[in-house]
Amino acid sequence: MRIHGDEFQAMVERVMQVTELTSRLNVLPFGDEAGKAELLEQILGGPLPAGVTVYPPFYTDHGLNLDLAERVFINQNCTFLDYAGIRLGEKTMIGPKATFITGGHPIDPAERKVWVNFAPIDIAENVWIGAGATILPGVSIGRDSVVAAGAVVADDVPPATLVTGAKATVNRQW
């Protein structure tokens, strides 16, 4: 998506609206279930599915492309940059401070301030995402898998797999 185009401007307007809504959500008393449900419905564009639990603070930039199945659990301080779509399958558990990012910029410095690239994230059923994990654009995580705390997931994860690690390495220079 071109940063200086109409589509980008529409996205920015939605981000501003959702930022206002999440700001209000994140200062509610913890036990205000009705207030939390009302704001989450506005953020996500509909009511929460059965058995979904969201512990604020909760952050999203778009909200309308965050698809939560039944019995999803989202712990405190999680971030969902969902413009390209994030699906959380049934019985998925998300640890505190987990981050899901569907957008990014090109590596080339000249293109970095002109374009934003997007790819969806798909999390299958019964997945556990550990505290502080980061899931990057385009990743699919298979059923029954576990992403360890602090892991950075840049590639697809097969079903029933444990993934770990967050060590950065130099891949190339320009």
What would the pLDDT profile of 76-102 be if each residue is shown by its tens digit? 999 999 999 999 999 999 999 999 999
Give per-residue pLDDT as tens, 141-167: 999 999 999 999 999 999 999 999 976
71 and 52 Cβ atoms separated by less than 8 Å:
yes
| Residue in 105, 115, 120, 163 annotated catalytic | 105
User: Omega before 29 cis (within 30°)?
Assistant: no
pLDDT of 36 over the 80 cut: yes
CA distance 88 to 5: 30
pLDDT at res. 122: 98
Q: Is 90 exceeded by the pLDDT of residue 124?
A: yes
- Provide the angle, in degrees to the nearest 10, between the axes of the packed helices 33-44 and 6-25: 180
| 4 annotated active-site | no
